Structure 1
Amino acid sequence: MQMFKRIADIFNSNVNSALDRIEDPAKMISYMIAELQDTLTKARTSKAARLAEKTSLERERGELLKSVARWEDRAKLAIANGREDLAREALVEKKQATERVRSIEAQLENLGSILSSQDAQLSQIADKLKEVKDKQQILVQRARSAKEKKKVADTLRSSDSSELAGKFNELESKIERMEADAQMAGYHRASPTDEFGKMESDSAIESELAQLKASMKENL
């Protein structure tokens, strides 16, 4: 039956796709409970209808069995009174009533199988509903944990992509340039004092060089 198929659809769905749909695990579990309760209600309603049908058929069978006995008695009475024509008509009525009894008994047997199946299904639905309610908080925690693990796995998987690797290399290069700029900033221009000192040193050397040249000329 269609109503029972929905249970399998709920609990046999693919785990990953189910996790993608669960924005709020608590809400999803509540939805499952509502679906099970709705299915249980419909199953009970269906069983009640079958039981009512069974009661009606049993009542009709009882009336027909009385009719079979009554037509048989009438056939005997007609024969006793030399009315074979009436006896024959009574036996026809008895035959029709008997056939109807057999048809009803076949329907009752089929209904018995349906009711047994419904009892088993009702028991399964009730058990599953109790299980979900008993484990509601645990299921919510497990669902949230599973979603979090999936997000972490997706993040780790994306970190291996070439695009992210390229961005990382670009960032590394920028940091290296920043470090080089910082290092070059340490090499400052000479201060005025340093420049004057260099000029004074150069002047002394030039003076000594001139003296050395003059001395060498005098010795020639």
Structure 2
Amino acid sequence: MGIFSRLSDIINSNLNAMCDSAEDPEKMIRLIIQEMEDTLVEVRSASAKILADKKTQERQLRALRGQAVNWEEKAKLALSKDREDLARAALNEKRRIETDAVALEDELVLADEHIQQLHDEVGQLQLKLDDAKAKRKAILMRADSVTQRRRTQHQIHRTHLDEAFDRFERFERRVDGLEGELDAMNLGRGKPSLADEIDALSEDDVLNEELEVLKQSMAVSKKGDEASNNA
């Protein structure tokens, strides 16, 4: 698994956990940056270890090459003394050492490739870390702005609903007062005249219209408040 793939899994896991527990944005961003910093330290430590191992392998390679040269000199010496059997044995040792040296050279090539890969990953991760830190303040400001807007919107809807209830109560008291006046008039005058009954019907229509408008206003405000709470 690549270092960025693993880091992505760690961050996504933390994001899901924080979303489930309704963590605040500041804590979420701080944790993601901490994960990136920890991963950066880990990658740099791995790179340093590989570099140290490479230096050890390079010393071993130089030693093997020196031994190969030494065995070749021994083979020459044996031939100069007419000891072809010893010369052959010396050349076999040289060949074995050269085989080990070739294998070690291949390991050094792989080490160089791994070191270059880690170097590239460190550079990319450092850029992402710097970018995350640079955007941290802006993201927190945006999150705070959204929170404030939601709170303000909720307060506006709450205020509208309270005002609608107040208006309803005023109209209710007004109707109660009018009914009381009519009752008083009826008690003092007996049966109302035809004109009084017609006027009362007209006034009832006006009140009914006002009450209907008020009910519609309250229904709209209540729906807006429910939508804000569900958001």
Counterpart amino acid of residue 30 in structure 1: R
What's 1:212 paired with?
Answer: none
C-alpha distance after superposition, 1:127-148 (max 9, x if no partner): 1111122222112123344567
The partner residue of 1:188 within 183, 194, 210 is: 183
Structure 2: which 5+ runs fail to align?
A: 155-163, 191-231
What's 1:131 paired with?
Answer: 131
What's 1:55 paired with?
Answer: 55
Q: 1:21, CA displacement in angstroms? A: 6.1
CA RMSD of aligned residues (A): 3.7
**Distance between the aligned counterparts of 1:117 and 1:40, measured in 2?**
14
Counterpart amino acid of residue 102 in structure 1: V
Is the Cα contact below 8 Å between 2:18 and 2:28 reproduced in 1?
no
> Percent identity over the alignment?
32
Counterpart amino acid of residue 111 in structure 2: L
| Partner secondary structure for residue 33 of structure 1 | helix
| Partner secondary structure for residue 182 of structure 2 | coil
Is the Cα contact below 8 Å between 2:57 and 2:104 reproduced in 1?
yes
C-alpha distance after superposition, 1:73-116 (max 9, x if no partner): 11111111111221111111101100011101111111111111
Q: Which has the larger helix fraction?
A: 2
Is the Cα contact below 8 Å between 2:11 and 2:35 reproduced in 1?
no
Q: 1:179, CA displacement in angstroms? A: 8.0
Is the Cα contact below 8 Å between 1:4 and 1:39 reproduced in 2?
no
Bigger shift: 27-36 or 130-139?
130-139
| Partner secondary structure for residue 23 of structure 2 | coil
Is the Cα contact below 8 Å between 1:64 and 1:97 reproduced in 2?
yes
What's 2:34 paired with?
Answer: 34
What's 2:215 paired with?
Answer: none
Structure ID, larger Rg: 1
**Distance between the aligned counterparts of 1:28 and 1:5, measured in 2?**
19
Counterpart amino acid of residue 35 in structure 2: E
Higher relative contact order (CA 8 A, sep 6+): 1
What is the count of residue pairs matched by the alignment?
176
Q: 1:7, CA displacement in angstroms? A: 3.4
**Distance between the aligned counterparts of 1:188 and 1:16, measured in 2?**
68
TM-score relative to the length of structure 1: 0.65
Q: 1:191, CA displacement in angstroms? A: 7.3
What's 1:107 paired with?
Answer: 107
**Distance between the aligned counterparts of 2:119 and 2:28, measured in 1?**
28
